[in-house]
């Protein structure tokens, strides 16, 4: 995501992945960006775990902490 300019790893950012989609800093990814990263997450997590298990994945990165 950093290589694609979606996150600045020198600043705080959040990722959310749930039944409503994939969000970076509370902005929903759409189109090819969403598809690309949802495929990566699904591969790493096994299937489409955000829907099949009704779990939500939240991640926050703060390089200042």
Give the structural domain span for 49: 13-61
Structural domain includes residue 50: yes
Nearest to 34 by CA among 44, 45, 20, 46: 20
How many domains does the chain contain in total?
1
Q: Which residue has the tokens 């409503």?
A: 20
| Confidence (pLDDT) at 29 | 93
Cβ atoms 43, 35 nearer than 8 A = no
The verdict on residue 56 lying in a domain is: yes
Does some domain include residue 27? yes
Q: Compute CA distances 20 → 2, 23, 36, 47, whole Å.
A: 22, 9, 16, 16
Q: What is the pLDDT of residues 8-53, one digit of tens each?
A: 888 888 888 887 888 999 999 999 999 999 888 888 777 665 554 4
């Amino acid at each position: 995501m950093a290589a694609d300019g979606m996150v600045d790893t020198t600043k705080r950012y959040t990722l959310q992945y749930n039944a409503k989609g994939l969000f970076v800093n509370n902005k929903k990814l759409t189109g090819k960006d969403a598809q690309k990263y949802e495929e990566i997450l699904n591969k790493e997590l096994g299937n489409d775990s955000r829907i099949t298990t009704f779990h939500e994945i939240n991640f926050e990165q703060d390089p200042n902490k």
